[in-house]
A and B are shown apart, each in its own frame.
Chain A
């Protein structure tokens, strides 16, 4: 049922209205999985109190912007049984070079980052280009998604995101038949983001997805974690989450989304072309040119675990890459 997306690695022209059935099916399946997890978790959590994995610091929402009640984690683990990473770890260990290259230093530097007012311009090859304020984005039904996040540096976390499928936003703007890729852009503001003023990288941060990847139900626009608004260090107020790809694909603090015909050149493809490709799918078999991707360290746990193909989402996404040489399209 997915064949209409592309054949042999090429995107086939699709009509956005044709896409829905697969995702309804997928989200239903995830919902059913979720129900099982909730039932199991309530047995466990019931015994030791609801404060399991309770967050440490509570970020205050920007004044003037009322976040709707965001769904709080419904389970203590992901569908594979891996425990959620703590809120403290998720919000104090960030790769966000716009602030600093020190993972422990981002949280402090990002405090006070202005996330309101915030606008996301969605345009390019679409019939109905629009500018969405953060309040508009929050009107999309916000749901909880527990995803594994695997960094290209071989560490990982399990994060209870809050957000909505990117597909819903893209459907609003009605992509034209020529649109094959989606290009994302982070805010450029060196005054607020000191890292943008200092280093030799070419800012702003850019990322891209193939349209069928962007329309996949797993692809999320996240607005929160642990039932709270996204803190600045995690990419507030809105970021992408593509759980089967290395973390750097999940671009933060998005201000622009553009539908384009050509494959966009991402920030890391531009910075180190021989090391980072467009796809960046998690794959234990395909090493980074300088290090192995076979294992990873799960933050908060000791020792190493084996990295899974497509970060454990192969059932959901493997069909997107059927017939493609994943070594070549790294």
Chain B
């Protein structure tokens, strides 16, 4: 009984915490099995980068999803998704520095600061690191109102990440799809749009409620 209630309240969190480790486990298994045959560095870099991007998008989708559906549960996984995105960004960066450039400082400085797709990716990583470190309740208390202001930088990170993907790709179609998704998610957050959707939802909800009450009323005489 108790477990059932707990599960109904927390299933999404459990799903996120388990789900977020699946791509990394898969990566490690594939690596150990030697499944990345041709170009392991590129494959692993792309894989971790794309996972980080998807997790960041999911984190950014939490608020809009809650606005549209009214589900409050979704808001409780927003931070975890963001932190997991940072985890994959860190692995992505470690592969870039260690496996791709073999910790060569000269090559790395050139690679990071002379290629615009790397500069924007690097900047996005720095932002996510900052937000990850200050994501705890302690920092939330310490920064007070500034915490929210600081964490709005996640939108900037989202834009930089899409630019990173777009600028490194020879074919722009896939990054542009993520770009469109990001624009959609950001639009849903604009106060006028968000307010309108909330009002529409509440009106629909109350109408549904009235209808079902009327339905019960029809059934009532039979009791």
Counting CB contacts under 8 A, is A10 at the interface? no
In the complex formed, the residue of B with least CB distance to A157 is: B38
A292, B102: Cα distance in complex, Å:
17
Counting CB contacts under 8 A, is B218 at the interface? no
In the complex, the answer to whether B100 meets A304 with C-beta atoms within 8 Å is: yes
Given A199-B173, A295-B107, A303-B102: A290 touches B42 (CB 8 Å cut-off): no
Contact code string B109-122 (vs A, CB < 8 Å = 1, else 0)? 01100111110000
Given A290-B168, A297-B100, A304-B107: A104 touches B38 (CB 8 Å cut-off): yes
In the complex, the answer to whether A290 meets B167 with C-beta atoms within 8 Å is: yes
CB contacts (< 8 Å) of B139 on chain A: these are none
CB contacts (< 8 Å) of B101 on chain A: these are 303-304
Given A291-B117, A292-B110, A304-B102: A92 touches B38 (CB 8 Å cut-off): yes
CB contacts (< 8 Å) of B115 on chain A: these are 287, 290-292
CB contacts (< 8 Å) of B38 on chain A: these are 88-89, 92-93, 103-104, 299-300
In the complex formed, the residue of A with least CB distance to B40 is: A302
In the complex, the answer to whether B39 meets A299 with C-beta atoms within 8 Å is: yes
Min distance, Cβ A292 to any Cβ of chain B, angstroms: 5
CB contacts (< 8 Å) of A193 on chain B: these are none
Given A93-B38, A304-B101: A292 touches B116 (CB 8 Å cut-off): no
Counting CB contacts under 8 A, is B99 at the interface? yes
Counting CB contacts under 8 A, is A127 at the interface? no
A88, B38: Cα distance in complex, Å:
8
Counting CB contacts under 8 A, is A294 at the interface? yes
In the complex, the answer to whether B117 meets A89 with C-beta atoms within 8 Å is: no
Query: Secondary structure of the A side of the interface?
Result: loop
Given A92-B38, A290-B116, A292-B115: A302 touches B102 (CB 8 Å cut-off): yes
Q: Which of A200, A287, A291 is the most central at the interface, judged by chain B CB atoms within 10 Å of its CB?
A: A291
Instruction: Choose one: B42, B114, B173; the contact of A297 (CB below 8 Å).
Output: B42
Min distance, Cβ B72 to any Cβ of chain A, angstroms: 40
Counting CB contacts under 8 A, is B186 at the interface? no
A299, B40: Cα distance in complex, Å:
9
In the complex formed, the residue of B with least CB distance to A295 is: B107
Instruction: Choose one: B37, B39, B111; the contact of A292 (CB below 8 Å).
Output: B111
A92, B38: Cα distance in complex, Å:
7
Number of interface residues of B (CB under 8 A): 24
Counting CB contacts under 8 A, is A188 at the interface? no
Instruction: Choose one: A101, A294, A297; the contact of B110 (CB below 8 Å).
Output: A294
A104, B7: Cα distance in complex, Å:
41
Contact code string A96-117 (vs B, CB < 8 Å = 1, else 0)? 0100010110000000000000
Counting CB contacts under 8 A, is B41 at the interface? yes
CB contacts (< 8 Å) of B168 on chain A: these are 290-291
In the complex, the answer to whether A155 meets B39 with C-beta atoms within 8 Å is: yes
Instruction: Choose one: B102, B104, B114, B170; the contact of A287 (CB below 8 Å).
Output: B114
CB contacts (< 8 Å) of A155 on chain B: these are 39, 42
In the complex formed, the residue of A with least CB distance to B39 is: A299
Counting CB contacts under 8 A, is A153 at the interface? yes
Min distance, Cβ A330 to any Cβ of chain B, angstroms: 16
In the complex formed, the residue of B with least CB distance to A88 is: B37
State which residues 273-330 of A face B: CB under 8 Å.
Answer: 287, 290-292, 294-295, 297, 299-300, 302-304
A153, B39: Cα distance in complex, Å:
12
A200, B171: Cα distance in complex, Å:
10
CB contacts (< 8 Å) of A97 on chain B: these are 171
CB contacts (< 8 Å) of B173 on chain A: these are 101, 199-200
Min distance, Cβ A110 to any Cβ of chain B, angstroms: 16
Min distance, Cβ B104 to any Cβ of chain A, angstroms: 8
Q: Which of B39, B41, B117 is the most central at the interface, judged by chain A CB atoms within 10 Å of its CB?
A: B39
A199, B110: Cα distance in complex, Å:
34
A295, B117: Cα distance in complex, Å:
16
Min distance, Cβ B170 to any Cβ of chain A, angstroms: 7
CB contacts (< 8 Å) of A101 on chain B: these are 170-171, 173
In the complex formed, the residue of A with least CB distance to B99 is: A302
In the complex, the answer to whether A297 meets B39 with C-beta atoms within 8 Å is: yes
Instruction: Choose one: B37, B104, B107, B114; the contact of A92 (CB below 8 Å).
Output: B37
Residue pairs across A and B with Cβ atoms less than 8 A apart, 23 shown, are A89-B38, A92-B37, A92-B38, A93-B38, A101-B171, A101-B173, A103-B39, A104-B43, A152-B170, A155-B42, A199-B171, A287-B114, A290-B117, A290-B167, A291-B115, A292-B114, A294-B107, A295-B107, A295-B111, A297-B41, A302-B99, A304-B100, A304-B102
Q: A93-B39, A199-B171, A290-B117 are in contact. List 17 more A-B contacts (CB 8 A).
A: A92-B37, A93-B38, A101-B173, A103-B38, A103-B39, A104-B38, A104-B43, A152-B170, A153-B170, A155-B42, A287-B114, A290-B167, A291-B115, A291-B168, A292-B114, A299-B38, A299-B39
Interface residues of B (CB under 8 A from A): 37-39, 41-43, 99-102, 104, 107, 110-111, 114-118, 167-168, 170-171, 173
8 closest A-B pairs by beta carbon, nearest first, are A93-B38, A303-B102, A89-B38, A291-B115, A101-B171, A290-B167, A292-B115, A299-B39
